[in-house]
Amino acid sequence: MAEVLIVRDEEEAGALAAEAIVNLIRSKPDAVLGLATGSTPLTTYGALARRIHDEGIDVRRVRGFALDEYVGLSAGHPESYRSVIAREVVGPLSLTPEHVRVPSGDPATIRTAGSDYEAAIDAAGGVDLQILGIGRTGHIGFNEPGSSLASLTRVKTLTESTRRDNARFFESACDVPMHCITQGIGTILRARHLMLLAFGHAKADAVAAAVEGAVSTSSPGSAIQLHPHATVIIDEAAASKLEFIAYYRHAWSNKPEWQGI
């Protein structure tokens, strides 16, 4: 079962997630982080940036792999995840740019981009801690419903629902690419620790399906139930459709301190 932490707000979630990442980096200075884009992880990156700078944490050897990328956006497009990761993660956290990779969405090399990315993750020794958001469709990364639980990094077609959700970053929904390249669910499950964050009522159904629903390709987030160390950090609204909230609170308030997050 995933550990479920129900917090007051996004700031508290970000502080908790940052605490887990700081502890990881302190014990492993060349830790490999799995990086998510989207609105959800922003308070985590904000809290982490403050801790890194206030506490002088050395992150020069930290490495990172983004979850996904759009196919076909020009290299410098401000909404390509390469640009977003540079702007929202690498810069604020002062990571070493050459140590952070994003799957390539360049159509010229797209046939081999998935296997190249898998090889790079393997060569880095695998992801230590994977930050995840979850889409209203239940997707993790861009693994839309129907994605194989064993899938590896590959090209996917976005659902119209996800394209509409992401239209806020583009001039119109038509400008959101049709295709993406995403780590597969199998790739994500190889990370040593999964940390899934979600906020707001719009995510409540996806969270309930992921945490308490049947493990199924129909709700890709449910794959976290197959992982031995998955932490779900959510606010009250995102938790509102969970059945076992009282138990999650009980377990968290009685958690042995030595276990950490």
Binding site for ligand PGA (CB under 6 A): 38-40, 133-135, 139
The residue whose Cβ lies closest to ligand PGA is 38
Return the number of the residue (88 or 118) whose C-beta is nearest ligand PGA. 88
Q: What is the smallest separation between the CB atom of 115 and ligand PGA, expressed in angstroms?
A: 23
Return the number of the residue (17 or 99) whose C-beta is nearest ligand PGA. 17
Return the number of the residue (99 or 231) whose C-beta is nearest ligand PGA. 231
Return the number of the residue (38 or 103) whose C-beta is nearest ligand PGA. 38
Q: Which two tokens stand for residue 146?
A: 């129907």
Q: What is the smallest separation between the CB atom of 211 and ligand PGA, expressed in angstroms?
A: 15
Q: What is the smallest separation between the CB atom of 57 and ligand PGA, expressed in angstroms?
A: 25
Strand ranges of the sheet holding 68-70, from the earlier edge strand across to the other edge: 68-70, 179-182, 154-157
Q: What is the smallest separation between the CB atom of 189 and ligand PGA, expressed in angstroms?
A: 16
How far is Cα 147 from Cα 219, in angstroms, rounded to an integer? Answer: 9
Return the number of the residue (133 or 184) whose C-beta is nearest ligand PGA. 133
Return the number of the residue (33 or 99) whose C-beta is nearest ligand PGA. 33
Q: What is the smallest separation between the CB atom of 83 and ligand PGA, expressed in angstroms?
A: 16
Q: What is the smallest separation between the CB atom of 254 and ligand PGA, expressed in angstroms?
A: 30
How far is Cα 189 from Cα 214, in angstroms, rounded to an integer? Answer: 17
Q: Return the half-sphere exposure (C-beta side, CA atoms, 13 A cut-off) of residue 211.
A: 30
Q: What is the smallest separation between the CB atom of 39 and ligand PGA, expressed in angstroms?
A: 4
Return the number of the residue (114 or 133) whose C-beta is nearest ligand PGA. 133
